[in-house]
Amino acid sequence: MRTLAATMDQHVLDKLQFDQVRRMLADRCRCHLGKELAGRISPSASATMVGRWLGQVREMTAAAEAIGLAPVGAVRDIREALRKSEHPAGLEADELAMVASTLEATGLINAWGETLADELELLKRLVERVGDFTPVARKIQEAVDERGHVRDHASAKLATIRGTIAKASDQIDVVFRRLLRHSSVTRYLQYANATIHADRKVLPLKSEHRGRIEGIVHRSSDSGATLFVEPTEAVELNNTIVRLGLEEHKEITRILGALSRLVHVNAEGILKSIEAAAVLDVLGAKVCYARDYRGVIAEVAADGVLDLVDARHPVLEKIFADEAAPGGPARSVVPISVRLGEDFDLLVITGPNTGGKTVAIKTVGLLALMHQAGVPIPAAAGSKLPVFKNVFVDIGDEQSIEQSLSTFSSHLRTMLEILRGAGKNSLVLIDELGAGTDPDEGAAIGRAIMEALLEAGASAVITTHLSTLKGVAFTEPRVDNASVEFDVETLRPLYNLRLGEPGNSNALIIAERLGLPRSVINRARAHLGDRQQALTRAIAGTLATRREAEQARVDARRAELEAVRRQEELARQSRALDDARQEHARWVAWINSLSAGDEVYLRTFGRNGKIVRMQLHQQSALVSAGAMDVQVNLKELAPPNGGAL
C-alpha cells in the first residue's frame, strides 16, 4: 500500500495511535496472513487508491449481508512451504497436507465469489486473483491424509511394499508370541515382553543367561544387566522388514518429491491466491469493525472539505468497551462534530485543561488516517473527508533529552518542519500552540504560525490556552473558534465541542469554587488587562448570534442527512420490491413449466416429492410424497431440495 509522505509517516502514525487501529483490525481477521496484512496497512495519499479501498469495503458489507463474509478461515500461511518446494529435498508430508487444506480453502473462496452479485465488481476482480487449485489439492490428498501421513495407496508400489511389511510383521508377531508362551524362555528374560531395537524386534535377556536363547545379541543395557537378543527365527523376517522399510522410504521420497514439484510449478499462482485471500480477510475485518463500533464509510471529498459528524475516538471506544462488565453497558465516548475547508480552514480550540482539546484533534487526525487506509470511521452517516497529501502533528512533549533541547525549542523545530512541508491538501494538528515560553511572545509566534498556515492553504486544527489567539478569528475570515464545554458547578469537563464559540480556561471560576478568598478573586479580575477584558466582552457580545448560526447550520445538516437517509431507504425498498417481483415471476414461470413426474420440494413437509397432477385452476397440485399422495397449495412448491430458481 502507498503511504503518506515519508518525512512524517512514522511520527504521525505513532502520535495518532494508528497502530491501535491496526491491532483492532488484526483481532477481527480470521487467518494469519490477514492478521499480518492488517498489521501493515497504511494510509495512502492517492484519492484513486482510497476510493478503491473504500469501494471494496462497501461491496464487502453488501456481500456480508447477502451471503456472508469470504470463507478465509482455513487459509494457512504456506509461503515457507512454497519457497521450500523448489529445493531438491522438497516438502514433508505434513507440509503438503497444509498446502492441500489451504488450496481447498481457496476453492471455497472461488465458490463464494461465484455467488456474488454482478454489481460487486471490485470484489469480483479481487476474487479473480484467487486461482482454482482444487485439482492440485485433490492430487495431494489422494497421497497424503489431513494428518500428514502418506496413504498406503499413494502409489501401487507403496501399497505392495506396505502389504509385504504387514505380512512380515504378522509372521514376526507369531514367532514372538510362540516364544513368550514358554516358561523355558520367559524365565531367562528381564520381563516377558518383546521390545524394539534399531527397528528390529528383540527379547530382553538377563545377562547372566547369555546363550540360553539362540540369536544375535545387538547390545546390552546401560547397567549391563540386560542383553537385547534377536531370536534366530526372526532374523530373516526382521531383515525383510528393514529392507522393505528402506524401499518404503525411497518410494515415499519419490511421491513427496513429485507432489513438491507440482506445488512448485503452481507456486506463483498459489502465492497470489493466498495474498488475495489475506486482502479479503482484512476487508472482512473492516466490515466487522464498522459493525462493532458503528462505523461508516466516509465520503471522499474532492472539494477538500472535512466534515465529521458525531465523530468518536476509536481507541477510547475500545478502552470503554474493554472495561465494561460482561453483558453490561459501556461508557459512551462523547461525539464531536468538526468541519474544515468550507467556511474556514483553521480551527482554534480553547478551554480548560483535561477538557478534551487534545482528544478532539487526535480524533480528527486518526479518523483522517483511517479514512485514507480504507477503514470505516466511528462517526455518523454523512461524514466526509478529503484525501490529504500530508498530515503533520505536534502533539505532546517532543523534548529530546540527548540533545538537551527545551520543550519550547523542540516544538519550534517541529513547527519549522511543518511550515516547510504544509500546503494545499495538508492537515496540520498542533496541540498547545505558543506554550512553553512567555505568553505574549508565545502568542505572537503562534499568530505568525497561524498566518503562515493560512497563506500555505493548509487545513489546521489548533489547541491553545492563550486568549490572544482566540481573537484571530475576529480578524481572519478563514479562522474560527471552538471550545470544549466545562461544568463550572461540578468542575468536570463535558467534552462537547462547540464550533464558533471560544472557550475560557475558567481559572478564576475554578479557583473560586475551590475556596480561594473572594477578595483575592476580585484582585485577580482587576489585574486582567484592558485588552483581555475587551476581548472577553467582544466574545460575549457575539456569542448568542454565533450560537444561533451554528445551531441553524447543524439543524440544516441533520435535515440534509435525514433526507439522504430516507432517499436511500426508499431506494433500498424499491430494489427489494423489484427483486421480489422478479423472484415471483421466475416462480410463476417455473410453476407453469411443471408436469407429472417432475420433482419438487414441499416446504411444509421439508422433503422432496413428485408431481402427480397439476391443478392450476385450483391453485393446487397433487404430489406423491413417499407412501402417500398429498394435495398442496402451489405456494408450498419449490425447486428440489429447496434450491433457488
| Mean pLDDT for the stretch of residues 257-264 | 96
Nearest Cα to Cα of residue 390 among 366, 351, 426: 426
368: its cell numbers: 483522517
Contacts of 463 (CB under 8 A, 6+ apart): 348, 349, 350, 357, 358, 360, 361, 430, 431, 432, 433
CB atoms within 10 A of CB 40: 10
472: its cell numbers: 484571530
| Mean pLDDT for the stretch of residues 128-157 | 94
pLDDT at position 1 is 36
Beta carbons of 12 and 391 less than 8 angstroms apart: yes
How many percent of the chain have pLDDT more than 90?
A: 55
Beta carbons of 385 and 308 less than 8 angstroms apart: yes
pLDDT at position 509 is 67
Alpha-carbon torsion (39, 40, 43, 48), positive or negative: negative
pLDDT at position 2 is 39
The mean-pLDDT minimum among 347-361, 498-512, 603-617 falls in 498-512
Rounded to 10 degrees, the C-alpha dihedral 90/95/100/106 comes to: -110
Considering the chain, what is the average pLDDT of its residues? 87
Cα–chain center distance at 448: 43
Contacts of 425 (CB under 8 A, 6+ apart): 304, 386, 387, 388, 389, 390
* 341-345: long-range contacts, CB 8 A cutoff, minimum separation 24: 341/301, 341/303, 341/304, 341/305, 341/306, 341/386, 341/459, 342/305, 342/307, 343/480, 344/473, 344/477, 344/478, 344/479, 344/480, 345/454, 345/457, 345/458, 345/459, 345/460, 345/478, 345/479
Contacts of 326 (CB under 8 A, 6+ apart): none
pLDDT at position 57 is 97
The CATH number of 295-527 is: 3.40.50.300
pLDDT in tens, 376-389: 999 999 999 999 99
pLDDT of residue 6 exceeding 60, the answer is no
Which of the listed CATH numbers 1.10.1420.10, 3.30.43.10, 1.10.3720.10, 3.40.718.10 matches domain 19-133+266-290?
1.10.1420.10
**Between 124 and 556, the higher pLDDT residue:** 124
pLDDT at position 96 is 96
Q: Where in the chain is the domain with CATH 3.40.50.300?
A: 295-527
Query: What topology is assigned to 156-243 in CATH?
Result: MutS, DNA mismatch repair protein; Chain A, domain 3 (1.10.1420)
Query: Is 422 in a helix, a strand, or coil?
Result: coil
Q: What are phi and psi of 614, to 5 degrees?
A: -90, 140
Query: Is 482 in a helix, a strand, or coil?
Result: strand
Spatial distance between the Cα atoms of 589 and 593, rounded to a whole number of angstroms: 6
Beta carbons of 278 and 36 less than 8 angstroms apart: yes
Tell me the range of 278-292, 349-363, 622-636 where mean pLDDT is highest: 278-292
First to last CA, the chain: 42
Spatial distance between the Cα atoms of 369 and 386, rounded to a whole number of angstroms: 11
Angle between helices 267-292 and 232-265 (to 10 degrees): 70
Spatial distance between the Cα atoms of 529 and 515, rounded to a whole number of angstroms: 24
Q: How sure is the predictor about 269, in pLDDT bands with cuts at 50, 70 and 90?
A: very high
Q: Where in the chain is the domain with CATH 1.10.1420.10?
A: 19-133+266-290, 156-243
pLDDT of residue 438 exceeding 90, the answer is no
Q: Which residue reads 526372526 in cell numbers?
A: 234
pLDDT at position 4 is 52
Alpha-carbon torsion (350, 351, 354, 360), positive or negative: negative
54: its cell numbers: 473504500
Q: What sections of 324-388 are H helices per DSSP?
A: 357-372
The DSSP code for 618 is: G
pLDDT of residue 319 exceeding 50, the answer is yes
pLDDT at position 465 is 83
Question: Half-sphere exposure of residue 249, counting CA atoms within 13 Å on the CB side?
Answer: 5
Spatial distance between the Cα atoms of 553 and 337, rounded to a whole number of angstroms: 12
Spatial distance between the Cα atoms of 459 and 454, rounded to a whole number of angstroms: 8
The residue count of the chain comes to 645
pLDDT at position 527 is 67
Q: Apex CA 166: angle with CA 163 and CA 167, to 5°?
A: 90
Spatial distance between the Cα atoms of 508 and 520, rounded to a whole number of angstroms: 10
Q: How sure is the predictor about 619, in pLDDT bands with cuts at 50, 70 and 90?
A: very high
pTM: 0.80
Spatial distance between the Cα atoms of 582 and 584, rounded to a whole number of angstroms: 5
Query: What topology is assigned to 594-642 in CATH?
Result: SH3 type barrels. (2.30.30)
pLDDT of residue 487 exceeding 50, the answer is yes
Beta carbons of 277 and 129 less than 8 angstroms apart: no
Q: Where in the chain is the domain with CATH 2.30.30.140?
A: 594-642
